[in-house]
Structure 1
């Protein structure tokens, strides 16, 4: 990877800690920086290293470059979804000005949508206090699987899946009711903290 200057250690640690892939590119497709997640996602998408930015990602970058050529005064963020067999990738591209680099760069964020859905489902499961099995069912349901496919994946019957989904719905509603009560309580008692 051609890199003008490595980011300071603390900044590098932050960039490497992102769940999203982060790429910094020149408008000539040269990679200035790529975090580990970007390397992994580019490899999954195109089977190549990040030094050869996959064409699906570069097409989104080109759209930003073209929009800048048409309207240089306006700052755009271009977003698109790229699908391959095993994942859906959200690609967001925007301009980035860096000290020491004459031309503006492209900041590219890559988000694995499947992973994002799983993380959301896990957060919901924690909030709703789901059991381990209910969490497994919920992650698969959030990923778009039917009851039949969930049953097959977890080696349980469809009736069991239906029962788990009913329990999840009840726990979700209980959580929402509790949150609504907290909001109402706090709005009527702004000087008191509610820790139900």
Structure 2
């Protein structure tokens, strides 16, 4: 959630004329409303959005994948992490296998879960035109990871927002990175770091105890110590 808000802040402070100059004109694709971008006419020679997604945002938010989607469902830009997590979603849903991934990266369409989120965002805009709606979804891919989706409208000064910003997070990866940062910042012990990482993933005290082979009381003691260090 905090990462998504920070991404929106980056977008809101980005020069609007630079972005608008690089957005292609789009024509609907009859094959699929969520197919690839169909540029019409000449696109700016310097693709500012491509640089923004491929380098700047990917370095600023390495654990978060980002998709910019038009109201028609065309993918305008995607970060490397977004493409990686989309592959995970496709494979988890049975639509792709590791052997398909290279080919799929060239001819990919959005995973079902993201298409559903985009459609819900568009419908919510129609039902509540005067409210800013942010939608979330969480997909548990058994044996791999838990993927969290966040959808929001991007406002670049248009009369009506026409672009969706979809963030995709691997909860385990985000939790591990946050725990590593907090371990350094608050000087947590190795065991406290393990407990905090699992707590960041939403595990209960009993689940943490089972995974680390310690008692629930020990988990409570570690959590108390962690919170005390964070308050200092």
Q: TM-score, normalised by structure 1?
A: 0.67
Q: In structure 2, do the counterparts of structure 1 residues 78 and 169 end up closer, same or farther at CA, with 3 Å as the change threshold?
A: closer
- Runs of 5+ unmatched residues, structure 2: 1-35, 97-103
For these two proteins, the number of residue pairs brought into alignment is 169
The 2-side partners of 1:65 and 1:8 are apart by 23
- 1:35 aligns with 79
Deviation at 1:110, TM superposition (A): 1.3
The 1-side partners of 2:84 and 2:175 are apart by 18
Deviation at 1:10, TM superposition (A): 5.9
Q: Is 1:11 paired with 2:55?
A: no
Deviation at 1:31, TM superposition (A): 1.1
Q: Is 1:82 paired with 2:145?
A: no
The 2-side partners of 1:110 and 1:173 are apart by 28
The 2-side partners of 1:170 and 1:95 are apart by 39
Task: Write the mapping of 1:135-154 to structure 2, written as runs, cut at 5 A.
Answer: 135-140=193-198, 142-143=200-201, 144=203, 145-151=207-213
The 2-side partners of 1:173 and 1:24 are apart by 37
Select the residue among 121, 127, 130 that pairs with 1:64. Answer: 121
- Runs of 5+ unmatched residues, structure 1: 152-157, 180-196
- 1:21 aligns with 65
Whether the 8 Å CA contact 1:29–1:53 is kept in 2: the answer is no
SS at 1:146 equivalent: helix
Q: In structure 2, do the counterparts of structure 1 residues 24 and 3 end up closer, same or farther at CA, with 3 Å as the change threshold?
A: farther
Q: Once superposed, which parts of structure 1, at least 4 consecutive aligned residues long, lie more than 6 Å away?
A: none
- 2:222 aligns with 168
The 1-side partners of 2:208 and 2:153 are apart by 40
The 2-side partners of 1:103 and 1:137 are apart by 42
Deviation at 1:92, TM superposition (A): 1.6
Deviation at 1:65, TM superposition (A): 0.6
- What's the Cα RMSD here? 3.4
Larger Rg over CA atoms:
1
